[in-house]
Amino acid sequence: MSEKLQQIINRQNQALVSDDKKVDEVIQLVGFIVGEEEFSIPILSIQEIIKPIGWTRVPQIPSYILGVFNLRGSVIPLIDLRARFGLPLQKHTDETRFIVMKNGDDVAGFVIDRLTEAIRMPKRDIGPAPDTISESETMIDGVGKQADRIVTILKVHKLLERNF
């Protein structure tokens, strides 16, 4: 019985490995600019992207959380990524967007400077986060290399994690 099971598992594993070889796994990312740098997050963790709307300040929270806003009846926190990354604040422009990210039940809106594009990237082009940053603290999931640029991939769950 267990032998049989083992065989099946082995076969499945092989199938997986060969699958990997056949079609290089591609992940889809959405790129955006905050400050000078281009960041990206997996497209599947985006609930929606909206133009800036009004929000309400909430007292007694870190300054990078601007407050809460109304997304079709849900009250959602709004986080300024510039402030989150320690960059100087900037006035919202026509290109400013709110990216609403979700991870399970956690949802929050993030203010970004502008969107760039949807990126399709083979998994092999993605390297780990720089060693200088400690593993547990970093918000960086990996660094994607493309012909003319590098894109920092962010950990959505880390962004959505309450850290105060």
Partner 1 sequence: MDEFEEILQDFLIEAFELIEQLDQDLVELETRPDDLDLLNRIFRVAHTIKGASSFLNFDVLTHLTHHMENLLNMARHGDLVIDANVMDVILESIDLMKALLVRIRDHGEDSGLDVSECVARLDVVANGESAPAPIEIETPIIQEPIVSKVDEEEPDYANMSDAQVEAEIERLLAQKQAEAIAKRAGTAVASTEVAEPDYANMSDAQVEAEIERLLLEKQSQDAAKRAQKSQNTAPEPAPSAPAVVSVPAPQPKTEVAPVAKVAPSAPVARRSEPKEEGESKGGGVEQTIRVDVKRLDHLMNLIGELVLGKNRLIKINDDVEERYEGEAFLEELNQVVSIVSLVTTDLQIAVMKTRMLPIGKVFNKFPRMIRDLSRELNKKIELEIAGEDTELDKSIVEEIGDPLVHIIRNSCDHGIEIGEVRMASGKSEVGTIQLKAYHEGNHIVIQIIDDGKGLDANMLKQKSIEKGIISEKEADAMSEKEAFGLIFRPGFSTAAQVTSVSGRGVGMDVVKTNIEKLNGMIDIDSEVGHGTSMKLKIPLTLAIIQALLVGVQEEYYAIPLASVLETVRISKDDIYTVENRSVMRLRDEVLSLVHIGDIFEVERVFDSSEHAYVVVLGLAESKIGLIVDTLIGQEEIVIKSLGEYLKGIEGIAGATIRGDGGVTLIVDVAALMQMAKSVKSTIGSESGDAKKLGVKNSASDYCVMIVDDSKTDRTIMRKSLEPLGVTLVEAVDGVEALNILKQGDHYFDAMLIDIEMPRMDGYTLASEIKKYNKYKNLPLIAVTSRAGKADRMRGVESGMIEYITKPYSPEYLMNVVKRNIKFNEGL
Chain residues that interact with partner 1, rule: CB under 8 A: 54-61, 63, 65, 67-70, 73-77, 88-89, 91, 105-108, 160, 162
> Minimum CB separation from partner 1 for residue 72, in Å?
9
Nearer to partner 1, 3 or 105 (CB): 105
> Minimum CB separation from partner 1 for residue 154, in Å?
16
Decide if 103 contacts 7 (C-beta within 8 A).
Answer: no
Give the Cα separation of 70 and 73 in Å (integer).
Answer: 6
Nearer to partner 1, 89 or 118 (CB): 89
> Minimum CB separation from partner 1 for residue 157, in Å?
12
Q: How many CB atoms lie within 10 A of CB 36?
A: 7
Decide if 151 contacts 29 (C-beta within 8 A).
Answer: yes
Residue with tokens 């769950």: 157
